Structures are given as structure tokens and as C-alpha cells.
Amino acid sequence: MKKDLPLKKQAPPGKNTPGKKPTVSKKENFIPKLSGKANLYFVLSFLLFAFILYGNTIFNKYAVDDNLVTNNSVVQQGFKAIPQIFSTRYFTQQGNVGSSSADYRPIVKASFAIEYQLWGEKPGRSHAINILLYWALAVLLFFILKRLFFNYNILFPFLITILFMAHPIHTEVVASLKNRDEILAFICGLGSLWYMLEYAEKSKAGHFFLAILIFFIGYLSKSSILPFLLLIPLVLHFFTKMKMRNIIPVFLAILVVVMMAQMLPRLFLPPLQRTNFFIENPLYFEKNLWIRLGTGLVSLLFYLKMLVYPYPLLYYYGYNMIPVTNLANIWAVISLVIYSGLLVFALMKFREKHFLSFAVLWYLIAIAMYSNVVFPVVGIVGERFVFNASLGFCLAIVFLIFKIFQTDPKSLTIELDARLKILAVLVLLLLPYTVLSVSRNRDWRNLFDLYRNDVKSLNNSAKANIDYGGFLMGTVYQDQNFLRTGTVNQFKYQIIVSHFRRSLDLYPNNYLTTNDLGTVYLFMGKNYDSAVYFLRKAIALDSTLQPAWVNLGMAYRELKQYPEAIGCYEHILKVNPNQVKATFALANVYNDMGEFDRAVKMNEDLMKAYPKLEMPYVNIGNYYMLRKDTATAVNYWEKAASINPSFELCVQLNSLYLIKGDQQKADYYYRLGEQIARQNQ
């Protein structure tokens, strides 16, 4: 029998044994130490995966709302635009039914101004920067997860990060240049969280103030950083030793930052102008709490469905894709049961700091502001709204996969069999996610492809039908053949009409769509009776707006119902005597009625009032041409061309001088017309 060997004398705690590496306390080992090469491999793997997922967006152009932050006159000033960007709202637009402006997001807009200064208008490079930002977000997320789960197997945070990156619901955020603000806000939210963790560990005020500063910058990117007001305290509670009495001041400090970010721009910016439309979200006009709750619950169920089964992916939803309903709706009841269960579970496991409690609370906090219950959101639901919340979903999925195979994610070594099973399940998720993401990116190539593809699944979206019909209508009005001859491709015309009519089937009380459909019948279809019907209907919806009155006058003129046409234009001039276009139109009606001198006099009066306006000369030229006085007509048209030449005017003058045999002037107007056509492309 062997004798027991004598125990070696151990060094006291905290002392180093000769010849041994110094011991490290658990706190000192808060962040697991990986070699620099291992960290580099992770970082490069995320870069590679980001380009696998979104590399094909580099070939994309511009899509929905990209003009707000990219190819517009402000951004195209480059560095010079930055002071203006930081002193104005995100955008201000003037439309037929009033002005609208958005909140204050100078950071994202400034990033595009810097891009333009460096290499001009290059949408491919802008998309590449979006990919790099997404990669940076993934890297930051991974190192935060690695820090939070310091005693977990490194495979655990890695798989969470990869699953998050691959989820197809993020395609709207990455493939859409306008949605760079979402990426920047999320990066800043995570950056603020990182330095709050530094503060929790080291208690250095510098880390605290740096976290606050980054949060403020994130809010200037987009207010979607707002959930981090609660998410940061949540993380501090679950993963640090900070007491609640110390976490509350952190929450209050971030709350002050939020209030400052909201209030300071109001000191130097004009009041926010936002016209809310029923087709965007009927809840803007709904005061019944039960309907808000019912619709909100259906919206929340939509987000869960899209996280589990992200298909089809669509650029917009709105009325009537998500039903406006009360709590009696079966889907609202199902949603209430699911979300109540999630909340109850998370609260029951809160004190023990259970991992799934944290994952569920992250999801609930991040998605709450988009539930429509307190504040309705544009479009009722949106895929970009679940960007932050999807992290909670990925946390839970990876954790549950580990548990299904009875593998502790805290195990530093995982058996090969269990590892292969876990990876197999993740691959089964990642492969379709990757294929769907890559495929979806192609739909974002340009506005036409996006509308044409998505409208197939958006038959019940009033706005999506308007968007597609309106886009096609715009292409017709820019078509030089249509401008010359007034003829339009009948197939395209029928598509435009069908989508406008479908939108009106869904929501008949839309003034803009009713007016637009009337103009399509008027200018493209030459169906003047239908034009009158819809334009009169538009006026019945809102008689204070002028566009339908102008168009109705034109329709009556085409029908030779001159007294009715005069009545329309006189109504406009009674409300707004300085409405020049109405005066032009009224003069044209008088000329049609044979009152030539009166029509000429009205245009001559406008020449005196507006000497730099070409239209009076164009109109008088038209009147003389109708009287077969070509020489006088050409004189007036040339005066108009000297003020503001148009493609149509150049075509007319080129043709007339060719007939006259004046090749020099014919060539001049031909070259001028070509130049204008190139500028309009």
C-alpha cells in the first residue's frame, strides 16, 4: 500500500508560486482572453459573411426614400452642406396638400455628404459602406456578447452573432441606403452599452460620460436607439454586480440625454410638420383604446411570425395589410396569450437572472415602441422596426438549441457529437436565411424592381398600389415620346389605372389617389368623362385643395364645356388671385371660345408681372399657330426659348425651321433639344 505523499505547501491567496503563472481573479478575467490571432479570425469571418449576405447590393442603385439622404441637392454640396445639415431637419417637402418634415437626424445625412465629397454620386460605394457598417455592428455585438458570457463556450456568442447577421428581416436595413440610420443607431446603442459595462467594472467617470456621449450621437442618427434607455440597465442588472441603487442613476442620466436630444433641436429648428394619412396607419385617427390594443397585438404577432418565418419580405405594409381590429379578433387573442406568457415567464425568472428571461425582456423592450398601442407607427408594421428586437430572438434560439441537445453553453469543452448536432441545426437555419437575404437584395436594385416585385404580395396595401401606379405615371410624364405626341403605352396605362383603382377600392376617401386617377384618365387615356367623374369626386373629398380644380377645368375644356371650365379656374383665382397657372388655363379657354384678344391680353399682363416667365410667350405663340400665323408664332416661341427652353419647344422650332429651309436654326434647336434631353435623364 502506497503511503500518502505529503502535501506541498501552497502559496497564500493572491501570492504567486515560484515558477508558476500568477493566478487571476474572476473579476480580472471578466473578459475571456483569446489570442489576438483568434480574435482576428472571428473578425474576418464576420467580414466575409457580411459580404456573402450583402455583397450583391453593391450593384444596386437607389430605392425607397434614398433621395432623402443621398442623391439630393443638399448632400451634393459635400463638406459645405454639413453646417446646413446640422441646422435643419432631416427633410422638408412641399406637396400638393401641404408641407411635411421629419425629425432631426444629422449624423446619417452628414455621412452621405462626406461620401459625395470624396467620390461623387456612387450608389455602389454607399452600399459597400452599409455592408461595412453592418460588419462593424456584428463585431461589436460579438465582443459584447463574449464579455457578457465570459464563462460560456466561445461557440455560444459566435453562433448568436452569425444567426443575427443572417436573419433576412435585416435586408431592409442593409440594402436600403436610407436605413443606414438604423445601423448607426444600433451601433451607438451597443457602443454606449460597452462603455457602461466598463464603468460598471472600473467605476471611472470617463467611461460613464463616453457612454452618454455615444448615446447622444446615436439619437442624432435616429430615435430608434431609444430602447437602449431600458436595455442598458437590463444588461447591467443581469451581467454585472451593480446594485439597483446604482443602476437607477444610469437610467436617469440616459433619460436626460434623451430629453436633451429631443428638446435642443427645437430651439433652432422650425416646428415639425407631419401630415398623417389614413392609408399609412388608421390608428392616427383612432381614439378607441380597445381597437388600439387589438391592432397592436396583431402587429406584435406579425413581428413574431416574421422572425420565425421571414417570408415574404416587403418594403411597406400600411392599410389594409394589417387589420384594424379590437380585442375580440382571434389573432389578437392568440397574440395576447403568447406575449402574456412571455412576459410572465420573464418576470418569474427575473430574480434568478435566467438567460431566457434576459432574451425575452430584450425582445419585449426593443419591440414595445413599435406596438402601435401608445404611438402609431408609419406603415402599421415594418421590417426595420424589428432590427434591434431580433437580437433577443437570436439569443433565445441559440440557447434553446444548446438545451435541446442537452449541452451546457457554459461548458468550455463540448463533445464532438453535441457540437455537430448544434452546428447542423444552425446550418439548417443559416442556409435558407442566406439564400433568402441574397435573393431579397436583388429586389432592392432600384425603385421599379422593388415596387414591381413587392406589389404582387401587397394587393391589400392601399399605399403600395399608389406607389407603383404613381411611379409608372411619373415615367410616362418623363417619356419624351409622350411629351411629343401625347400617346402612352396602353399596357402601362392599364397597369397604372388598375393599381390606382385597387387603392381606391381599399380606401375610397383618398383625395390624392382620386385626383391622380382623374389626371391619368385626362392626360393618358383621353377618357374625359371618367376624368370628370374622379376629379369631381376628389373635390367632394376636399374642395379647399386646388389640384383637382385645375385638372377638372382641363377636362371640361377638352369636352368643350367652356362655362364649366371657366367656373373651375375662376374658383381657383377667387381663392388665390396670384395663381399663375390658373390664369394661363383661363386664357386658353377664352381663346378656344374665340376670344383671341382677351386671351392675348391676359398673357401680356402676365409678361409684365413676370418678365422671366416663358409660358406667356408659349401660349401666345400657340394662339397664333392656331390662326395659321406661323411667323408670329415662331417669334413668340423663340422668345420663350431664350428665357427657358424646353425639349418640346426645341422640337417644334426644329421642325418649323426644317420646313422653312433654315438648316442653321434647325440644327441649333436640334442640338439644344438634345442637350436638354440629356440633362433630364
* pLDDT tens digits along 4-37: 434 334 444 444 443 444 444 444 334 445 667 8
Q: How far lies 21's CA from each of 7, 14, 38, 57, 185, in Å?
A: 20, 12, 22, 50, 43
pLDDT in tens, 276-332: 889 999 999 998 999 999 999 999 999 999 999 999 999 999 999 999 999 999 999
pLDDT recorded at residue 487? 87
Query: Residue 645: how many CB atoms within 10 A of its CB?
Result: 19
Which residue carries 504567486 as its cell? Answer: 16
**Pairing outcome for strands 92-95 and 98-101:** antiparallel
Omega before 312 within 30 of 0, i.e. cis? yes
pLDDT of residue 89: 86
> Is the pLDDT at 3 greater than 80, yes or no?
no
pLDDT tens per residue across span 647-664: 889 988 998 999 888 899
Look up the pTM and report it.
Answer: 0.86
Q: Are 272 and 101 in contact (CB under 8 A)?
A: yes
Q: What does the angle CA 62 – CA 64 – CA 66 come to, to the nearest 5 degrees?
A: 55
Q: How far apart are CA 549 and CA 555, in angstroms?
A: 10
Average pLDDT over residues 417-444: 96
pLDDT of 102 above 80: no
Report whether 428 contacts 159 (CB < 8 A): no
Return the DSSP state at 178.
G
CA distance 318 to 497: 20
- Kindly list the domain boundaries of the chain, sorted by start residue: 502-680
Instruction: Over range 43-54, report the average pLDDT.
Output: 98
**pLDDT of 329-353, one tens digit each?**
999 999 999 999 999 999 999 999 9
Pick from 603, 670, 676: which is nearest to 646 by CA? Answer: 676
Task: Confirm if 669 and 650 have CB atoms less than 8 A apart.
Answer: yes
Q: What is the pLDDT of residues 363-411, one digit of tens each?
A: 999 999 999 988 999 999 999 999 999 999 999 999 999 999 999 999 8
Which amino acid, one-letter code, is at 330? Answer: I
Contact in structure between 474 and 89 (CB atoms under 8 Å): no
Average pLDDT over residues 349-362: 97
Q: What is the DSSP letter of 33?
A: -
Cβ neighbours, 10 Å, residue 110 = 20
H/E stretch holding 101 reads strand 98-101
Instruction: Identify whether the C-beta of residue 282 lies closer than 8 Å to the C-beta of residue 509.
Output: no
State the alpha helices, DSSP H only, in 459-527. 462-477, 480-485, 490-506, 511-519
Helices (H), 94-154: 106-119, 123-148
CA separation for the pair 649, 637 (Å, rounded) = 7
Mean pLDDT over residues 554-577, rounded? 95
* Helix, strand, coil percent content, the chain, rounded in steps of 5: 70, 0, 30
Per-residue pLDDT tens over the stretch 233-281: 999 999 999 999 999 999 999 999 999 999 998 888 888 777 888 999 9
- Contacts of the segment 151-155: beta carbons below 8 A, 24+ positions apart: 151/32, 151/410, 152/409, 152/410, 153/409, 153/410, 153/411, 153/412, 153/413, 153/414, 154/32, 154/34, 155/409, 155/414, 155/419, 155/422
Separation CA 80–CA 84 (nearest Å): 8
Q: What are the pLDDT digits (tens) for 610-637?
A: 999 999 999 999 999 999 999 999 999 9
CA 537/CA 514 separation, integer angstroms:
7
Looking at every residue in the chain, the average pLDDT score rounds to: 91
Residue-wise pLDDT for 162-195, tens only, equals 999 999 999 999 999 999 999 999 999 999 999 9
Confidence of residue 676 (pLDDT cuts 50, 70, 90): confident
CATH number for the domain running over 502-680: 1.25.40.10
Among 652, 286, 245, smallest CA distance to 483 is for: 652
DSSP 8-state assignment for residue 2: P
